[in-house]
């Protein structure tokens, strides 16, 4: 049997044990990536082992809140847990969204343990041309 020791994993495990699992009033953080892709922002949250019906997404004004709960697996009485490193409990992340994003048209997809939100850039925030009237002559400038 091969045994490998990772001191950082042990520190993470110890910190999780001391803090306990996340609760709805004091959730744990969840890892995420955020980037711009064309005319939308994409935010991806890692939620492996979380059922889609255990994810809650809310937008209030410009505050996006994602909460998820990883529940323990149902086990038979004769099962004895040997090792449990995957954190259970409630995870949450709040993001302040810019006024230039269209919060009315957010799309959410959940696949392979990754929740992906696509937030379009509002039409009013996109660059546009403005025409200037000078007498009977009009010309356009970039805005």
Confidence of residue 3 (pLDDT cuts 50, 70, 90): very low
* N-term to C-term CA, the chain: 67
Percent with pLDDT over 70 in the chain:
75
- Distance in angstroms (rounded) separating the CA atoms of residues 20 and 33: 25
Contacts with 100 (C-beta within 8 Å, 6 or more apart), sequence order: 121, 122, 124, 125
Confidence of residue 111 (pLDDT cuts 50, 70, 90): very high
pLDDT at 13: 54
- Distance in angstroms (rounded) separating the CA atoms of residues 91 and 31: 10
Percent with pLDDT over 90 in the chain:
41
Dump pLDDT digits (tens) for 119-135: 999 877 677 788 888 87
Cβ atoms of 106 and 117 closer than 8 Å: yes
pLDDT at 2: 41
**Sign of the CA dihedral running 76, 74, 114, 97:** negative
Dump pLDDT digits (tens) for 56-98: 999 998 899 999 998 877 777 788 878 777 778 888 899 999 8
pLDDT at 22: 60
**Average pLDDT over every residue of 27-45:** 89
Mean pLDDT value across the chain: 80
């Amino acid at each position: 049997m091969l045994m490998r020791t990772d001191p950082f994993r042990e520190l993470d495990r110890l910190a999780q044990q001391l803090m306990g699992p996340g609760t709805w009033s004091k959730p744990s953080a969840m890892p995420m990536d955020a980037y711009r892709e064309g005319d939308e922002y994409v935010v991806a949250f890692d939620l492996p082992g979380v059922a889609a019906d255990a994810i809650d997404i809310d937008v209030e004004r410009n505050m996006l809140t994602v909460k998820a709960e990883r529940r323990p697996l149902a086990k038979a009485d004769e099962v004895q847990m040997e090792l449990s490193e995957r954190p259970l409990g409630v995870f949450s992340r709040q993001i302040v969204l810019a006024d230039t994003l269209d919060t009315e048209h957010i799309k959410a997809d959940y696949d392979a343990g990754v929740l992906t939100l696509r937030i379009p850039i509002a039409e009013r925030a996109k660059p546009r041309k403005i025409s200037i009237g000078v007498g009977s002559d009009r010309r356009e400038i970039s805005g």
